[in-house]
């Protein structure tokens, strides 16, 4: 093993800084992971890449970037109880204190410890490097039939979507509307399909993304974002609207469309982060008995279940990765993701 490694940092001026840093050593209850795939998230662009806008859990503290890592353990530190060298693993991207109520539920995302809650790639070193340190309690086994790119997708996007869909409930009865067809929206299409939905309608402003959703079979109909979307969705659903809607756009107009295009007694979930929305409670939700849910990331236990189901369903999240780059081209990878003219973008440290 080399004594130094390449690692990517985000100074906040729409650039990526590559540095040579020492390979870290795992402490008690930690493992050293050889990173094999690390995908770029919309939140990396929104909160860090252009400018360091995030606060609190989205505050970037100048660490190695990347919160969607997947790799193989090269060294288990003292005190590890389950994982060992050679295991292929996904890293749940927030390391919580482990002992608060939220952590005990498996939702380290909402860990309440200001001192111990640290997210990979935000407050502690993440996966945009040849190696990284992860705590054993944050690891999820990656089955042999899933690739490292599949696993990196589970780490944030697919896990987050699965949580939102499970909260809302999706089955073969449902027509589903997805607003925003970036990587998270595409993941929603892929999972809704496996959960039985046979009428999936997607809305996005970008032609490339609409085309990708259709060509991958993740949507049955796609609509260009516009003022007629609610009427168009009703036309596609017998005049009623969809039973279920998922907002992955964080756009105010798209969220209002998702609420209004949901039929009477229907449910919608908000996953896309940031921004705002305006709607009229009485006509838009109260009189139609609608439910609006919020959902933030997922738990370690549901992520484990998702991994098991991906194998059962023969669903490979890798399918929505349209571009992959070696680590030395991380600047190009982030630039492409920021442009939005792509599906998911991955960095693979050993692809050089
Ligand atoms: Zn993410
Ligand atoms: Zn906690």
**Residue 136 contacts by C-beta under 8 Å, 6 or more apart in sequence?**
29, 30, 31, 76, 80, 81, 82, 83
Q: What percent of the chain has pLDDT over 90?
A: 94
Domain 4-147+316-347, CATH class in plain words? alpha beta
Q: Which CATH number fits domain 159-294: 3.40.50.720, 3.40.50.300, 3.40.190.10, 3.40.50.12280?
A: 3.40.50.720
Q: Are strands 175-179 and 17-22 parallel, antiparallel or unpaired?
A: unpaired
What spacing in Å lies between the alpha carbon of 41 and ligand 1's midpoint? 4
Ligand nearest to the CA of 119: 1
Ligand 2 centroid to Cα of residue 60, in Å, is 19
- 3-state secondary structure labels for all residues of 2-16: CCEEEEEECCCCCCC
Question: How close is the Cα of 83 to the center of ligand 1, in Å?
Answer: 24
CA of 24 to the centre of ligand 1 (A): 23
Distance (Å) from CA 43 to ligand 1 centroid: 6
**Cα-to-centroid distance, 138 and ligand 2 (Å):** 12
Question: Residue 297 Cα, ligand 2 centroid: separation in angstroms?
Answer: 15
Q: Where are the domains of the chain?
A: 4-147+316-347, 159-294
Confidence label for 1 from pLDDT (cuts 50, 70 and 90): low
Band of residue 155 on the pLDDT scale cut at 50, 70, 90: confident
pLDDT average, residue stretch 336-346: 91
Section 306-326 average pLDDT: 96
Task: Please report which ligand is nearest the Cα atom of 109.
Answer: 2
pLDDT of residue 340: 85
Q: How far is the CA of 226 from the centre of ligand 1 (A)?
A: 27
**Given the structure tokens 């729409």, which residue do they identify?**
14
Q: Name the H helices within the chain.
A: 42-44, 101-104, 148-153, 159-168, 183-194, 207-215, 229-235, 252-260, 281, 300-313, 330-339
Q: Is residue 351 scored above 70 in pLDDT?
A: no
Q: Please give the distance, rounded to the nearest whole angstrom, from the Cα atom of residue 135 to the centre of ligand 2.
A: 14
pLDDT, averaged across the chain: 96
pLDDT at position 19 is 98
**Ligand located closest to 107 CA:** 2
Q: How far is the CA of 23 from the centre of ligand 2 (A)?
A: 28
Q: Which pLDDT value is given to residue 56?
A: 86
Output phi, psi for 244, to 5 deg. Answer: -135, 140
Ligand 2 centroid, distance to 137 Cα (angstroms): 12
| Global pTM value | 0.95
Distance from the alpha carbon of residue 40 to the mean position of ligand 1, in angstroms: 7
**Could you tell me if 340 and 40 are in contact, meaning their C-beta atoms sit under 8 angstroms apart?**
no
Q: How many A from CA of 139 to the centre of ligand 2?
A: 16
Nearest ligand by distance to the CA of 155: 1
């Amino acid at each position: 093993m080399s004594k130094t490694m390449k690692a990517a940092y985000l100074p906040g001026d729409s650039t990526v800084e590559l540095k040579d840093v020492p390979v870290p050593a795992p402490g008690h209850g930690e493992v050293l992971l050889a990173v094999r795939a690390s995908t770029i998230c919309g939140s990396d662009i929104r909160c860090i890449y252009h400018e360091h806008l995030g606060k609190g859990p989205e505050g970037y503290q100048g660490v190695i970037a990347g919160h969607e890592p997947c790799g193989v353990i090269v060294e288990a530190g003292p005190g590890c109880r389950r994982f060992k060298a050679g295991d292929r693993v996904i890293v749940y991207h927030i390391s919580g204190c482990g002992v608060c109520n939220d952590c005990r539920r498996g939702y380290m995302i909402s860990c309440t410890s200001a001192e111990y809650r640290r997210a990979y790639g935000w407050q502690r070193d993440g996966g945009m490097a040849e190696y990284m340190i992860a705590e054993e309690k944050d690891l999820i086994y990656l089955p042999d039939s899933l690739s490292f790119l599949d696993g990196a997708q589970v780490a944030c996007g697919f896990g987050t979507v699965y949580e939102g869909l499970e909260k809302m409930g999706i089955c073969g009865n449902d027509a589903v509307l997805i607003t925003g067809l970036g990587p998270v929206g595409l993941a929603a299409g892929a999972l809704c399909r496996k959960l039985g939905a046979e009428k999936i309608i997607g809305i996005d402003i970008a032609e490339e993304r609409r085309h990708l959703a259709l060509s991958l079979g993740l949507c049955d109909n796609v609509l260009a974002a516009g003022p007629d979307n609610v009427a168009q969705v009703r036309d596609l659903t017998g005049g009623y609207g969809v039973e279920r809607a998922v907002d992955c756009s964080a756009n105010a107009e798209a969220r209002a469309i998702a609420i209004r295009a949901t039929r009477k007694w229907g449910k919608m979930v908000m996953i896309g982060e940031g921004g705002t929305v305006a709607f009229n409670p009485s006509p838009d939700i109260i009189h139609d008995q609608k439910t609006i849910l919020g959902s933030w990331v997922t738990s370690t236990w549901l992520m484990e279940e998702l991994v098991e189901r991906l194998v059962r369903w023969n669903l490979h999240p890798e399918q929505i990765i349209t571009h992959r780059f070696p680590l030395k081209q991380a600047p190009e990878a982030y630039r492409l993701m920021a442009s939005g003219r792509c599906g998911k973008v991955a960095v693979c440290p050993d692809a050089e």
